[in-house]
Amino acid sequence: MAGENERVCVTGAGGFAASWIVKLLLSNNYIVHGTIRQPGDSKYDHLDKLEKASENLKLFKADLLDYESLCLAISGCTGVFHVASPVPFPTTITDPEVQLLEPAVKGTLNVLKACLEAKVKRVVVVSSIAAVVMNPNWPKDQVKDESCWSDPEYVRSTKTWYYLSKTQAEAAALEFGRSNGLEVVTVCPSLILGPLLQSTMNTSSWLLPMCFKDGFEKISFKYWTLVDARDLAEALLLVYKKSEAGERYICTAHAIGLEEVVDKYLKISHPNYNYSQKLTHTEEEEEKLSSEKLERLGWSYRPLGETLIDSIESYRKIGVLD
């Protein structure tokens, strides 16, 4: 059976995207070491309820800035899915170096060093399209592919610290792989939506509820490129098994203006909310991204309606829409 007896580690196992990867790996008979920062916290309860968790999931207390704790979690694993990285609300960032850059960049290097020490064969690093799209020199009408990188100096000048953290962390990861002979593959997802496995909201999942709660004006980007967390999990396992080392993959499924999200989907599934009449996006905000490289490896994705409806249903279940 696929994955039988193979031991892999997932960093930040309790997070939104990582929980789906843990679930997929367990269902494919992998033995999973998951890192979490606060063992005993109820925010990880969903992990114990995953199918095969009681036999095949082992949780380790580890922080990205605590090298020894990572070594203990990664020891004995042949593969690592490095998912953990801070994803704060932009308004809560007061010290970008401490809150974002250090855990993202130094944390990623700590994970990779621990992988080298443990003789891990392959590491899949979750980056972001934040590391792809902020490139003012890219021709305006040209679709962005994996050869496009956000320009760190430009990103720094705009103070979009999360973007900087992902750009620097991904570049450092690929460089570390090249210079140390470690197989590193990076995956750059767009906005991740989809149902929650955990019972608390993560940052990106707030975007849809904000549409119901008169929060449109606060949503800073009104054109979304997005992917379902379940399809992202499939993509991560696919590149783990099939990619060449040192490759980079954009992982995005749909591109849509917020007005279309509301008119075509939300107003139909939830007609009774008081939607803003003034919804539009500008052409400037439109992002042309390609996941063709990932699709050539065999990746496919579900329809947008399924992602939106399943997401909303899961927010309703945890009481966020009340």
Candidate ranges 26-34, 138-146, 188-196, 238-246; the one touching ligand NAP (CB under 6 A) = 188-196
**Closest approach of ligand NAP to the CB of residue 59, in Å:** 10
Residue nearest to ligand NAP (CB): 15
- Helix H or strand E segment including 59: strand 57-61
Instruction: Give the residue with the Cβ less far from ligand NAP, 250 or 262.
Output: 250
User: Does residue 16 bind ligand NAP (CB under 6 A)?
Assistant: yes
12 is a site residue for ligand NAP (CB under 6 A): yes
103 near ligand NAP, rule: CB under 6 A: yes
Residues 154-183 that bind ligand NAP (CB under 6 A): 166
**What is the smallest separation between the CB atom of 284 and ligand NAP, expressed in angstroms?**
21
**Least distance (Å) from ligand NAP to the CB of residue 278?**
25
CB atoms within 10 A of CB 206: 16
Footprint of ligand NAP on 242-271 (CB under 6 A): none
* 281 sits near ligand NAP (criterion: CB under 6 A): no
Residues 6+ apart with CB under 8 A from 181: none
Q: How is residue 203 annotated by DSSP?
A: T
Q: Which is nearer to ligand NAP, 135 or 203 (CB)?
A: 203
φ, ψ of residue 192 to 5 degrees: the values are: -100, 120
**Known active-site residue 222:** no
Q: Which is nearer to ligand NAP, 29 or 287 (CB)?
A: 287
Task: Return d(Cα 277, Cα 238) in angstroms, integer.
Answer: 42
Number of residues that bind ligand NAP (CB under 6 A): 28
d(CA 143, CA 20): 29
Indicate the residue type of 280: T
Given 53, 73, 112, 126, the residue binding ligand NAP (CB under 6 A): 126
Q: Which of 52, 159, 166, 278 is catalytic?
A: 166
Give the whole-angstrom CA distance, residue 21 versus residue 55. Answer: 17
Both ends of the chain: CA-CA distance in Å? Answer: 43
Residue 85 contacts residue 12 (beta carbons within 8 Å): yes
C-beta separation of 130 from 166 below 8 A: yes
Buried b / exposed e over 132-145, threshold 16 CB at 10 Å, is bbbeeebeeeeebb
Any contact of residue 31 with ligand NAP (CB under 6 A)? no
User: Using the rule CB under 6 A, is 192 a contact of ligand NAP?
Assistant: yes
Residues 60-99, one symbol each (x = binds ligand NAP by CB under 6 A, - = not), give: ---xxx-----------------xxxxx------------
For residues 164 and 157, give the distance between their C-alpha atoms in angstroms, rounded to a whole number. Answer: 10
Distance CA 231, CA 141 (A): 27
Binding site for ligand NAP (CB under 6 A): 12, 14-18, 36-38, 63-65, 83-87, 103, 107, 126, 128, 166, 189, 191-192, 202-204
Q: Which residues are catalytic?
A: 166
